[in-house]
């Protein structure tokens, strides 16, 4: 389809797409250019009554909103990366894309969310854990890069009449987004917090961190990344959009994300860490380890032997894992400083030409990185099961997308929260290596939790002021 924004052009594209496929269960994909619309703000209108909603907000880069499910896969087990890759390849190859000449940002995408562990641990209790992987070809997709945007609709059609109906749905949504957007922001209401015991996670963490430090001091582990969970009670269903809008300003270098399975199951956050991106056959991964809070401009971090060693462990492991896949990774000799709100991290980008390897086989090799699990990986994972008194769920696992050209973006889901009903779980971790001091690690975890808790407190105080 050209950039002609008329209903007749959409109708003609659907007719041609159906004629070219000419069979039952044709997976038809229609798209229209739609400039100047913010996908984050537009998500409620895009979704309508759809329970599934997803957002990857890398603004000022690519911002992607999606809603509804056209095809989906949910499964557990050790082959989850391989089977998710197969599902993505099959779904995207079946698509009859009537706008294949459109820019890269408009391409159809399969959306992916993984759980940290491929199996649920023995100490799991309470709410049902998420599947080990979810892969979704969404019904609706809205993307924006700069001010240029595209709206896409995927659907299964079995006749020319159904193809026409798909074109009508796309055009109606296109008109509605343009007509309703000015009033969207004013309709949002933030969530009210009722309680949360900040001392509970500190008590649990102090016991676990002492054992973790013993393990690295004794040489049983080179590194262990212990996480904590802080639970907050809410007085109503959690609305993530005001928080994500705020994080766009406060955490501009991060990628804000949202994965909503249904209205009372919302996973969200602002990840500073890229597991991998793939563009035109070139892979990039981010080594991100070593953290300083407000008041350190990064110079102390660069001089810290403990932080430099922790960072180098991550860089060496990522480059070695890529070499094991037959790639030739390149890295900077010295780490850079990456600032995310009040936190500063040591950061080393790693690049490699992928030579046609499936992106999820690379992701499987890299996940979990030493920045979120530890080293050696297998032993660290076993100790996480023992020392963390909760299921990690999707914390520190890959989340992102693969598009129809094979390009991909997978983030590590950290700085995140998971709201189920009236409970909001916030999770954060810190890396233990030789030289770690328990009190400093607790302070680092507190800083990371504050990325979200500070915004939630601001939201609550604003709501209280507006109701006075």
Instruction: Indicate which residues carry an active-site annotation.
Output: 223, 273
Cβ neighbour number for residue 308 with a 10 Å cutoff: 17
**What phi-psi label fits residue 39: left (phi over 0), alpha (psi between -120 and 50 degrees) or beta?**
alpha
- Residue owning tokens 């406060």: 250
CB 39 within 8 A of CB 245: no
CA 463 – CA 285 distance, rounded (Å): 39
Q: Please say whether the dihedral angle defined by the alpha carbons of residues 229, 72, 119 and 129, taken in this order, is positive or negative.
A: positive
Separation between Cα atoms, residue 184 and residue 187, nearest integer Å:
5
């Amino acid at each position: 389809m050209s950039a002609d924004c008329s209903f007749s052009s959409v109708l003609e594209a659907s007719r041609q797409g159906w004629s070219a496929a000419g069979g039952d269960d044709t997976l038809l994909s229609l798209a229209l250019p739609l400039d100047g619309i913010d996908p984050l703000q537009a998500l409620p209108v895009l979704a309508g009554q759809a329970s599934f909603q997803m957002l990857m907000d890398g603004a000022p880069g690519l911002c992607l909103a999606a809603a509804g499910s056209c095809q989906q896969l949910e499964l557990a087990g050790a082959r989850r990366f391989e089977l998710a890759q197969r599902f993505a390849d099959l779904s995207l190859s079946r698509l009859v894309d009537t706008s294949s000449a459109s820019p890269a940002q408009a391409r159809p995408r399969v959306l992916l969310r993984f759980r940290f562990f491929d199996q649920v641990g023995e100490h799991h209790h309470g709410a049902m854990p998420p599947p080990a992987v979810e892969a979704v070809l969404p019904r609706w997709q809205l993307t924006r890069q700069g001010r240029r945007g595209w709206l896409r609709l995927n659907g299964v059609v079995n006749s020319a009449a159904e193809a026409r109906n798909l074109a009508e749905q796309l055009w109606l949504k296109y008109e509605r987004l343009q007509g309703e957007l000015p009033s969207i922001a004013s309709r949002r209401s933030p969530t009210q917090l009722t309680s949360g015991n900040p001392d509970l996670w500190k008590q649990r963490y102090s016991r676990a961190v002492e054992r973790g430090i013993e393990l690295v001091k004794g040489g049983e582990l080179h590194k262990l990344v212990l996480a904590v969970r802080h639970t907050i009670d809410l007085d109503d269903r959690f609305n993530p959009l005001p928080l994500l809008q705020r994080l766009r300003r406060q955490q501009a270098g991060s990628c804000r994300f949202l994965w909503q399975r249904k209205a009372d199951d919302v996973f969200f956050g602002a990840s500073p860490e890229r597991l991998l991106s793939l563009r035109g056959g070139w892979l990039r991964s981010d080594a991100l380890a070593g953290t300083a809070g407000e008041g350190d401009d990064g110079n102390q971090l660069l001089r810290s032997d403990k932080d430099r060693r922790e960072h180098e462990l991550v860089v060496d492991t990522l480059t070695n894992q890529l070499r094991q896949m037959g790639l030739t990774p390149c890295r900077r000799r010295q780490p850079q400083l990456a600032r995310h709100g009040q936190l500063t991290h040591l950061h080393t980008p790693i690049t490699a030409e992928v030579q046609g390897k499936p992106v999820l086989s690379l992701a499987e090799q890299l996940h979990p990185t030493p920045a979120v699990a530890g080293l050696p990986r297998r032993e660290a994972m076993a100790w996480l099961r023992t020392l963390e008194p909760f299921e990690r769920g999707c914390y520190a696992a890959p989340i992102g997308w693969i598009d129809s050209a094979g390009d991909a973006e997978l983030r590590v889901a950290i700085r995140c929260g998971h709201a189920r009903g009236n409970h909001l779980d916030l999770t954060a971790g810190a890396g233990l290596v030789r030289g770690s001091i328990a009190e400093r690690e607790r302070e680092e975890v507190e800083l990371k939790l504050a990325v979200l808790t500070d915004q939630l407190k601001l939201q609550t105080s604003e709501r209280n002021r507006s109701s006075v």
